[in-house]
Structure 1
Amino acid sequence: MRLPLPQFDRSDRHPNHIAEVIATSTTEFLAQCLEPEDLSFPPMPPFGSWVSCADEESGNKVYGIVYYVTTMPIDSVHRPVALGLSLQDLREEQPQIFAMLKTEFRAAIVGFKPSLETVVKNDIVYQYLPPRPPQIHQAVYRCEPEDIIKFTEELDFLRTLLMVSGAPVDSLTAAAIREVYRLRKADRQWLVNAGRTLSVLLKDDYDRLRFILSQVHP
């Protein structure tokens, strides 16, 4: 007999609270998307989008960029099969499907904002790995545009992205730049600076540089 899952009050959940950390390491964390209240799949954070997670013990706010997203069964027994139904048909005829799947994503850590107790200026951010990653069960949020704009005033995070293992790093770098460029309302000077930074980092690999820049549309 399958026991019912515990019910939690979601009324006070922040609208940007989209996931929860379920695995963590020095350079990245794995998060599971929270289930929506209606019969639908959890919203997938886009490839190259920015998320943050507050490490409650250290007080640091850790920033990450999504580089891998997957939807899979919650266990290895109930595998999905093709049904030939639309999403609306699934809601009406097979509503249990939505409870049998989970959506997870991996985010590469690109920097952090220290706790207010450890810094004089409360708007300082660091573009290198924090002393410790977020802990299990910490909430993961979509980053606010102003936070991303503040973080990307410096461009050292591009080096971190180019070193992410197990990811299409060239496409990831391009996607992150595109998102920032959009949020900065097509700030061409910022885009030129990003291109110059990449040219220094990839000075011996013109083909990679050209491939990344070709995916960024001014």
Structure 2
Amino acid sequence: MRLPLPQFNRSNRDENHIAEVIETTTTEILAQCLEPDDLSFPPMPPFGSWVKSQDEESGNQIYAVVYHATTMPIDSVHRARALGMSLADLREEQPQIFAMLKTEFRAAIIGFEQPKTNNSNGAVYQYLPPRPPQIHQAVYRCESDAIIRFSEEMDFLRTLLTINGAPIDSLTAAAIREVFQLRKADREWLVKAGRTLSILLKDDYDRLKYILSQIHI
């Protein structure tokens, strides 16, 4: 059976606290999802979903978009093998399986928000921050209000389109779909996003068409 660590006890953490940074670079973070209290897989954040963490030195809130997630054995030497059992059967007969797995995800950094002070409400910047989050910083799902505030301007689309090592076009479309849904199908915002993409991809019509085809109204 899984032996939960005190810091992983769900009752002691924010419901949006889903992971912890285990590797950090200027442009992205690698985070490991926190273990649930029951016999289930850690919740894998959806492709294109928005997460945030913090640079402790500056207090900046760092925003990122998930582009890759995986569940694998904790032991990197031995691969998981097919057992021919349902998840319900595994929970009943092989509960230790769940304690032997980990879920990780990579998220591309697309901007940051400065901390609020007496003289400032906290400015939002849609480019790479001076520093990424530190190792072992908490990673949270972004609240709807934070995503809506961050996406008022469209410069984050340029940042998304320059990410390396990710399915950029599908990621851009997924990020736009997420915001569009949170904005309750705000068509004016979607048109603005489409126009921005058309400018950024003015020399690559096929790519623009492919991205727009993945954005459903």
Whether these two folds match at TM > 0.5 is yes
Match of 2:69 in 1: 69
Query: TM-score scaled by structure 1?
Result: 0.95
CA distance in 2, matches of 1:124, 1:35: 34
TM-align CA RMSD = 1.4
Aligned to 1:156: 155
User: 3-state DSSP class of the match of 1:161?
Assistant: helix
- Match of 1:127? 126
CA distance in 1: counterparts of 2:25 and 2:51, whole angstroms: 16
Which residue number in structure 2 is paired with residue 198 of structure 1? 197
SS in 1 for 2:20: strand
Flag structure 2 segments of 5+ consecutive residues without an equivalent.
none
Map of 1:7 onto structure 2: 5
The SS at the match of 2:67 is strand
* Corresponding residue number in structure 2 for 1:170: 169
1:78–1:100 Cα contact (<8 Å) kept: no
Shift of 1:5: 6.3
Aligned match of 2:186: 187
Question: TM-score of the superposition, structure 2-length normalised?
Answer: 0.95
Structure 1 partner of 2:137: 138
What is the alpha-carbon distance in structure 1 between the residues aligned to residue 198 and residue 120 of structure 2? 32
Paired residue total: 214
Aligned mates of 2:121, 2:72 — CA distance in 1 = 40
Q: Does the residue aligned with 1:40 lie in a helix, a strand or coil?
A: coil
2:24–2:133 CA contact under 8 A, matched in 1: yes
**Distance in 2 (alpha carbons) for counterparts of 1:190 and 1:6:** 44
Alignment partners' CA distance in 2, 1:174 and 1:196 = 14
Residue deviations 1:70-122 (CA, integer Å, cap 9, x gap)? 111112233211011111111001101101111000000000011234x8322
Task: Report percent identity of matched pairs.
Answer: 74
Aligned-partner Cα distance in 2 for 1:37–1:79 = 24
Q: Partner of 2:98 in structure 1?
A: 98
Give the equivalent residue in structure 2 for 1:78: 78
Rounded to whole Å, the distance in 2 between the matches of 1:112 and 1:27 is 12
**Contact 2:4–2:37 (CA under 8 A) maintained in structure 1:** no
What code does the residue aligned with 1:113 have? Answer: E
Q: For 1:43-65, what per-residue CA distance to the aligned partner results, in whole angstroms no more than 9, with x for missing partners?
A: 00000000000222211100000
